Chains A and B, each alone.
Chain A
Amino acid sequence: MKKLLSILSVAALAANLHAGNITVKGSDTLVILAQKWAEVYMGEHKDVKIQVSGGGSGIGFAALQSQTTDLCDASRPAKAAEIAKCQVVFGGKRPTEYKVALDGLSVYVNPENSLKELTVEQVGDIFTGKIKNWKEVGGPDAPITVYSRENSSGTYEFFKEHILKGKDFVASAQTMPGTAAIVQAVVKDKNGIGYGGAAYGGNSKLLNIKRDDGSPAIAPTEENVINGTYPIWRHLYVYVNPNLDKGEIAAYLNWIRSDEGQKYVKDIGYYPLPKNLRSN
């Protein structure tokens, strides 16, 4: 009996040890932010160990489904096929989606470009190739060079779905492997236009965006993104197996979305969640 008890206690200890270990995997967009959170949280909770690694949202979902990660960072919402695969192993439950940050997306042009503002529709038309010359939107008479992200990026998908309304990017769009590459290209190309995180504009010029013809042009500032007046923004997500969403993991997820956790979002170039979005 005594032996059995000791075995049980060792098992409990082992389970306990595991509970203090959180693995996070997924989107490269979020990996630095996830690391920042992990570092601060581990500093405050000495008994918790958090492992962060990147690879891509798809790799994160695959790991969530094979239960090799507790949390999956994603820069795009989960696809139906990914949810279904998770359901198979989660006993029919869908993975729980938490929105953890806002990403304001701005439209970059060359600093010498005289253009100041565009409507969302015009932005879409430029990226689908319907508008080919700057003079069609009130700019100089010059052909537009379109810079886009790799189709593996969450930003690309968001833009295609919400700004281009599901239409294809113009075939001649230069595909860049990162936001920085787009900014650099646009800064060097006086007819260039690109898109990416509002905080990453660098030396390029960020256009003010109008929701439609009648509305005012809004600059992609932090304030405008958070209060929702700036029209182009997306969420960043963390997904979790609902069966594991308790104890340490739940506490960590709560902390991420608290004032304390959201404080660090801005350091990485994203925007904190408005209060009303924090309760899921």
Chain B
Amino acid sequence: MTPEPKSEQPRPHGWIGIHRGHKARPVEWLAEKFIFLVSLSAIAMVLLIFLFVAREAMPVFFGEANTALIQPTIPVAELDKHSPAELQRYLDLTPEQYKSVDHDTLLALMQGKLDEQNEVPENFRKDADARINTTEWKYLLQSHQWSGYDRPEYIWQPVGQIKKFNIIPLIVGTLKVTLIGLLFAVPLAVGAAIYVSQLARPRVREVVKPVIEMLSGIPSVVVGFFALLVLATVLQKIFGYQTRLNAFVAGIALGFAVIPVIFSIAEDALTSVPRAYTQAALALGASRWQTAWQIVLPAAIPGVFAATVLGFGRAIGETMIVLMVCSASVMSWSIFDSARSITTTIAAEMGEVVAGGPHYRILFLLGALLFAATFVSNMIGDFVIHRFKNKLEGKR
């Protein structure tokens, strides 16, 4: 497909409408189609990620999971009185599994269901909570006054007799840690970006830029390790708070990981402000700082904003750092309290959950939520950068 001058006439087509190239240069034609198809893989992957993470979360989404501790049972003797569909649902089997099991196995499974109900501890039998399906949306999102509590609370305690799956504390924890990280990282990274792109001498810039970018080469598990062993102790000494590991330490460590991301995007945005702006300002007698602060930064504000949004996306999805530093699902906005992020929850709990059970499904639901959040922040960030670059180019 070499660029051809556009002609008014329609291009000649081959046999039954197949493009002429198909016959003239079959290898070229095939290669081009192949390359095009492969290049769609990125789109396919994004779609697949969403599809398959959401697929595993589906039963919870549509309220098909039931976690009530006390459930109605069917006596073993009544096996033949119920339809296969009913039994399959009751025994929580897939249609294939139901077909594969023989009669004796069915009886054993029915007995198992009865035994399970008989094993419910006495103190839960009278408890109203034991009859609640805790995977309903109401219990996932709203506070509820569980027995033993004196007021409605948001609780994430997915293991135990009454499984409490309220995801609000996790969302609060994620936002808390992320915001601390950004509050720490954005001023530093943007400050450094201003310095490197506007104020530093070229030779300094050549050295400093790759050095800061090297920070992004540190694996997050190493940052987490450093925060756990060194940073937590140092920060506690400086600020003198009570609990050694808390959202504050996690946030600062998160900042370490986000700084290089924000720095490179912001630096890029600041550098792409046309030189004419700077030269004009300097010619008018402004100092370097005044130029940077009053001319370049305002022009690059959309880029800096995009850097922050993309940094947010990175921070909200960071797993190992928060996992290693703090993880109490406490409902509190205090920065010196602990926090449990969504990523931590997925990483820490997936290994021990019953595969395919409600807890497993909810972890996937959290994953889908996280994916949606980063998807939106990425979209915003990219859109803003795109607009910003176009605008600068248009003005040039």
Contacts and interface: CB of A to CB of B under 8 A. Distances in A.
Q: Which of B91, B164, B323, B351 has the most CB of A within 10 A?
A: B351
Interface residues of A, number: 46
Contact of B155 (A56, A92, A168, A174): A168
Nearest to A170: B330
Contacts of A92: 101-102, 104-109
A168 B148 contact: yes
A165 B162 CA distance: 12
B338 interface: yes
A133 interface: no
B327 A172 contact: no
A217 interface: no
Contact of B351 (A59, A145, A167): A59
Contacts of A151: 157-159, 348-349
B116 A80 contact: yes
Nearest to A54: B351
Nearest to B353: A58
Contacts of A165: 123
Interface stretch (A6-14, A153-161, A225-233): A153-161
A221 interface: no
B318 interface: no
Contacts of B337: 172
Contacts of B100: 88
A84 B114 CA distance: 12
B160 A175 contact: no
A79 B327 contact: no
Interface stretch (B11-19, B25-33, B241-249): B241-249
A80 to B, nearest CB: 4
B153 to A, nearest CB: 7
Contacts of B245: 174, 185
A210 B216 CA distance: 52
B107 to A, nearest CB: 7
A152 B351 contact: yes
Interface in A28-74: 28, 55-59, 61-62
B101 A157 contact: no
Contacts of A88: 93, 97, 100-101, 105, 109
Interface in B119-160: 119, 121, 123-124, 146, 148, 153, 155, 157-160
A79 B337 CA distance: 33
A156 B159 CA distance: 9
B237 to A, nearest CB: 11
A145 B242 contact: yes
Given A92-B102, A156-B159, A177-B323, A171 B244 contact: no
Contacts of A28: 351
B95 interface: no
A58 B109 contact: no
Contact of B243 (A145, A154, A166): A145
B380 to A, nearest CB: 33
B105 A150 contact: no
Contacts of B104: 91-92
A57 B350 CA distance: 11
A176 B357 CA distance: 24
Interface of B: 91-93, 97, 100-102, 104-109, 112-113, 115-116, 119, 121, 123-124, 146, 148, 153, 155, 157-162, 164, 169, 233, 242-245, 323-324, 326-332, 337-338, 340, 348-355, 357
17 contacts: A56-B351, A79-B357, A81-B92, A81-B357, A84-B113, A87-B109, A92-B102, A92-B105, A150-B349, A153-B352, A157-B159, A166-B123, A172-B332, A174-B326, A185-B245, A189-B243, A191-B242
Given A166-B160, A168-B146, 5 more contacts: A56-B352, A83-B112, A84-B92, A171-B329, A177-B327
Cβ-closest 5 pairs across A and B: A56-B351, A92-B105, A92-B108, A152-B352, A80-B116
